[in-house]
A and B are shown apart, each in its own frame.
Chain A
């Protein structure tokens, strides 16, 4: 059987090389799908059609399956996030320590609900099912930094200033 050429990256953006390398290290095998999607999302922040098709061709997995996997897992997102992201943990310990009030307060001040981005594209609000830092409940992650024992009002005021 003739060896098919490796698919071209969608553009000459250097970040595609990171994705390509990760897939190659895993032998371009179909079971590398989730790892490949992780690396594309880490590189670009979200998964667009180009990324899904590139991964599909590289691993020889049907696009329908790639789309199925990308939409099954909560971690993957097909839409770009805002400039800043705020993740509010809604695990049990955070829940009984007032995670709901944090969400209410952010909604009152910034008008966003979980999984939404503010109209000006500055902030995306997300929720997580337990970050495993229950001792610090309620916990949030702002742009990758974990913060604990958050007070709803002060926190949403600070988010506004980001």
Chain B
């Protein structure tokens, strides 16, 4: 990071063609939900929306609603269109071939709304993402019609801040950003800390490669996050909030900004919210492409306009955070769970999940799995259910090799743990980490040494440079892994790799360095033979690494 290194020039939000949707006369008999999250948008879902609007108008339907919605989840098969009245889901929709959808809309009889029947949907339980794919993310009315801001209203009308915190504590909710710190405990610490003003920060700096849960929640249901933040602010006595969002997510930033303005106009944000004495404003701050800013002290430094370098804890942000004031930092998904908990009660939430991990978790399924996309399942769901039932198995029926969780601080979980229930504790037991919820499925075409090298390359580049163990250690570890993948390492190098990994883990300042050796530890634990094959036999079993043949002795 010493010189100017242009990396990502993220897409600005393109001005898309305006849509003229048919006007309804009376309630809709049938509706078509068109997904407009990033993944489907990039496969022309906006053109599908326009086309459907035109065709429905041409057909003269006066009782069919065409609606833009957030993520429907099954991103692999986009663009997606769903008819909720019949439960039909149309995949890989082409803008020039919409007749089938129009015919289906014509045939719909009014009645109950049905979820699509595929295993991808039936295996899920949606709480944080319950509105994703159901409401128009840019419409406050749609959010309010589906029960939005009701939790905030009843909290302000009938609960004390302490009662709100008790409800969150009773729910057993733990931070969804990775470490799983009990949310109620954190809220209580901030509430009891001395100092004013206090701040609430939403961490939307979703940096783990292969994780896109927060992006999807923000793009699909931004008001939900705002409502969660407002309730949190009331509970801890804060009046100002920030959302720190990655600049790589321009659509999320744009929808969040629209939602904040709409909420302000409607009296859900600003001064005297819902005619009470509670004031709360929210500002969006964009990141600028630094993974380390997901670490809370680095994030605070970045909001203050500085380089995103972490500081030692304690003091924790709960006591001395933004501008050295008590600050509550929670992740997007954590805030998305707040309103349902207040609406249905902490005991309801605590009834879902496992003994130590309550509720549900949103996972981003990616890699060599058929149904890549976004899922939400109860804590304790097995990996096999996630990968093979919901995920539809491995691409081309290749053998499953491992699933990587926890991003660059996580690990690779091999096939022998497929029947393990997934929660915070079980993942740590097998040497991985919940992280923010990215799950990357790997088959035989992935070399585990190369995967470890890939993550170390990531950490080496993203190290902020403040502390030596991380800045120098990650580079040294990377060079050792590079030697192994090139077939030039000795068994002494492997021993050195293990020693150095332990040192970096023990002595780094923040989570980035402490977690950086985890991919090495976990691949060594389950795939040590692959390391040995590279070193001793000079072959890459997966055929990924290019190893020159050994010189023939004369």
Contact = CB atoms under 8 A, between A and B. Distances in A.
A35 B206 contact: no
B466 to A, nearest CB: 11
B16 to A, nearest CB: 11
A91 B6 contact: no
B523 to A, nearest CB: 14
Contact of A144 (B12, B38, B216, B438): B12
A135 B75 contact: yes
Interface stretch (A7-15, A26-34, A154-162): A26-34
A97 B367 CA distance: 7
15 contacts: A31-B303, A34-B285, A34-B302, A35-B286, A76-B289, A77-B6, A92-B404, A92-B438, A96-B446, A130-B207, A135-B373, A136-B75, A141-B11, A144-B14, A148-B39
Contact of B288 (A76, A127, A132, A148): A76
B3 interface: yes
Contacts of A33: 305-306
Interface string B297-324: 0000011111110000000000000000
Interface residues of B, number: 66
Contacts of B206: 132
B248 A147 contact: no
A126 B248 CA distance: 13
Given A92-B210, A144-B14, A81 B6 contact: yes
Nearest to B214: A132
B7 A115 contact: yes
B442 to A, nearest CB: 6
A42 B12 contact: yes
Interface in A102-151: 114-115, 124, 126-137, 139, 141, 144-148
Interface string A34-50: 11011000100010000
Given A75-B288, A129-B207, A65 B5 contact: no
Interface string A70-94: 1111111111010001010011110
A21 to B, nearest CB: 16
A146 B4 contact: no
Contact of A92 (B9, B373, B440): B440
With a 10 A CB-CB cut-off, give which of B8, B14, B206, B446 has the most chain A CB atoms. B8
With a 10 A CB-CB cut-off, give which of A30, A75, A95 has the most chain B CB atoms. A75
B42 A132 contact: no
Nearest to B42: A146
A130 B1 contact: no
The DSSP consensus for interface residues of chain A is mixed
B122 to A, nearest CB: 20
Contacts of A96: 367-368, 440, 442, 445-446, 451
Contacts of A81: 6, 9
Contacts of A2: none
Contacts of A93: 209-210, 366-367, 372, 440
B211 interface: yes
Contacts, number: 196
Interface string B442-470: 10011000010011001000101000000
B367 A74 contact: no
A76 B304 CA distance: 17
Given A127-B8, A132-B206, A135-B75, A74 B3 contact: no
Interface in B9-53: 9-12, 14, 38-39, 41-43
B76 interface: yes
Nearest to A139: B42
B439 to A, nearest CB: 10
Nearest to B291: A129
B107 to A, nearest CB: 30
A145 B305 CA distance: 29
B290 A73 contact: yes
Given A87-B10, A129-B289, A146-B41, 11 more contacts: A30-B305, A31-B303, A71-B5, A72-B1, A92-B454, A93-B372, A129-B207, A133-B75, A135-B78, A146-B11, A147-B42
Contact of A134 (B14, B210, B458, B464): B210
A85 to B, nearest CB: 5
A131 B442 contact: no
B383 interface: no
Contacts of A97: 367-368
Nearest to A68: B307
Given A38-B286, A132-B248, A76 B4 contact: yes
Given A75-B289, A134-B366, A135-B373, A129 B305 contact: no
Contact of A74 (B2, B210, B288, B407): B288
B215 interface: yes
A73 B209 contact: no
Contact of A31 (B215, B216, B305, B451): B305
